[in-house]
Amino acid sequence: MAQSNAKRPRLVEEAEGPIERQMRQVVRFLADDSLKGRQPGTAGEEVAAAFVASKMEELGCAPAGEEGSYFQTVRMVGLTAVRNSSKMAFEVQNFQLTGRFGDDYVHSMDHLADAEPECAFEGLDLVFVGHGVSAPGLGWDDFKGQDMSSKVLLVLISQPPVEPFSKDDMTYYGRWTYKFEEARRRGAAGCLIIHFSDEFAGYPWSVTRTGYSGEKVALEKPQANPLALHGWLQHDLASKLAVASGTTLDNWVQQARQKDFQPVAVGRVSHSSLYEKRCFSGRNVLGFLPGEEAHRHEAVVIAGHHDHLGEREGEIYNGAVDNCTGVAMMLATARRLIESGMQLKRSVLLMAPTAEECGLLGSDFYAAEPLMLGQRQAKPIAAFAFDVGNVWGKTRDISVLGLGKSTLDPLLNEVAAAQGLTLVPDLQPKMGLFFRSDHWSFVRRGVPGCWFFFGRDFIGKPSSYYEEVVGRYIQSEYHKPADIYHPHWTMSGLLSQVDFTVGVAQILATRTDILLAMKPETASPSLEIPEIPASFAFRRRPGKRGISFGLRCFDCKIEGCVCFL
């Protein structure tokens, strides 16, 4: 039996074509333990970026980075909460409540350029603001004109599951990133998101805990109206806050579904924490296939991020599926386009961004100010992402995250029909996946884009196969040390995704008469965050490390109990 298993990987590879073997090589190399999970700013990420650049050069891609290189430096700041220094306490009615970092809450803060990496404040107002949505175009406002400056906002994840919002398709207003952006726009001191359920959050608490108990990374340029606290509360702690205030979490959820919802004063919150600060640089890897001179600056962007979560508590998060497969598909797309010999009028920009797992930072940095392509600054005309590739088998369909959101649809349908594929929309729209990969950095700036995912109609497999393999991956491997390379994986599903992308890119890069646009109803909230003068001074006043309100503990009902400290 052992001998049979040892031969299995070789038999799989021997049946593959050259592009499939190339993709396997890329996935295997990037997912190796020696790269330690490719966390931005580490030696592993440096090796990954250099490897991708070398592959671009081998293929014949022209460099599209800084100073004639394949690289763009992205400067970042990482903050890691010192676990045993974190204190968070709530005063609600006559009760005091707290929890444990990691089990009940996780948090970080926005960095300041020249400040110590610590936060402390006492007794700030805690306000429940429903889903924290302000959508004038939809006639929805959870804030009702109330002043939120220097308060801590308590918000539900996702969006109201009532009209005018779709129950089945998340908008950007449902994303956790939007909640923090809106809190900054309003000059709040902090924002805590209630992890209400796996269904509403899109992932279990274990994923949230992993993502927020480790290093939180931001671009070096400080945020406008930086938050002293941003993070998540586990469902049970949030439920206790509601009960202590005289209601229930379910009642809060029901109230937040009403258009006439009014913010609810919950109580007060105090918080202190020390942070370890790391200033570092990551690297976007950029190559391009040049179009003709007149349209060379117009670019079809194809991205697959090369970073992952690194090493935590002695375990390596290799991120083989997320996202070594995406890098492999991006490079394979370049190879397919080059080998086609087709003369391009527009350029195709191949991109392996850094820090996608930190909030799309690498692609956001590029999209905010694209580099030069030829003699002019790049002008992205469409953006497509490869993220979490299909290593489980070929499908008869392909899922496009972004279908229906732009004028790309007729072109996508044309390519799918030509390749005998059934085009299907987002299979899990409630998860908001459309906003969770690098195309979004371009889309939110008005560039049409999609994430080319995979379908669920696997050839030669039972109808339950998709739920089996993808369900297992999401629950047991996604953002966990178990996301490792397996020799028995098939590359045929990846190749199908590549071929579809090649078909789309060829048409866009050879037809300069195709002018694309996002549909008006899909426009995202503004990127602008107006400065609110002097508000930050009220958030970072020194606080006490051992916080206590001197009230009864909600859990044991004892005044001044030790569990509170």
User: Which residue type, as a one-letter code, is found at position 290?
Assistant: P
Helix (H) or strand (E) holding 8: helix 2-14
If we measure between CA atoms, which residue out of 481, 111, 158 comes closest to residue 311? 481
Helices 43-59 and 18-30, packing angle to 10 deg: 160
pLDDT of the residue at 325: 98
Residue 548 has pLDDT above 70, yes or no: no
Residues forming a β-bridge with 349: 288, 301
pLDDT of the residue at 357: 93
d(C-alpha 359, C-alpha 216), whole Å = 9
Average pLDDT score over residue span 88-107 = 91
From residue 322, alpha-carbon distances to 73, 182, 309, 420, 434 in Å are 22, 29, 10, 27, 15
Average pLDDT score over residue span 291-314 = 96
pLDDT in tens, 371-417: 999 999 999 999 999 999 999 999 999 999 999 999 999 999 999 99
d(C-alpha 395, C-alpha 493), whole Å = 7
pLDDT in tens, 465-495: 999 998 899 889 999 999 999 999 999 999 9
Where does 138-246 have alpha helices with state H?
176-185, 198-201, 205-213, 235-244
d(C-alpha 225, C-alpha 149), whole Å = 10
- What residues contact 488, with CB distance under 8 A and at least 6 apart? 8, 9, 12
SS3 content of the chain, % helix, strand, coil (to 5): 35, 25, 40
Domains and CATH numbers, the chain: 2-60+290-311+319-385+408-420+438-447+482-522 (3.40.630.10), 79-277 (3.50.30)
Residue 541 has pLDDT above 60, yes or no: no
d(C-alpha 165, C-alpha 14), whole Å = 50
Share of the chain above pLDDT 70, in %: 89
d(C-alpha 196, C-alpha 253), whole Å = 9
What is the length of the chain? 565
From residue 10, alpha-carbon distances to 103, 306, 489 in Å are 44, 26, 12
pLDDT in tens, 50-91: 999 999 999 999 999 999 999 999 999 999 999 899 999 999
Residue 208 has pLDDT above 70, yes or no: yes
| DSSP code, position 214 | S
Out of 125-134, 210-219, 239-248, 522-531, pick the least confident. Answer: 522-531
pLDDT of the residue at 471: 87
pLDDT of the residue at 94: 84
d(C-alpha 46, C-alpha 281), whole Å = 10
From residue 558, alpha-carbon distances to 100, 101, 171, 392 in Å are 18, 22, 44, 55
Rounded to the nearest integer, the mean pLDDT of the chain is 90
pLDDT in tens, 330-362: 999 999 999 999 999 999 999 999 999 999 999
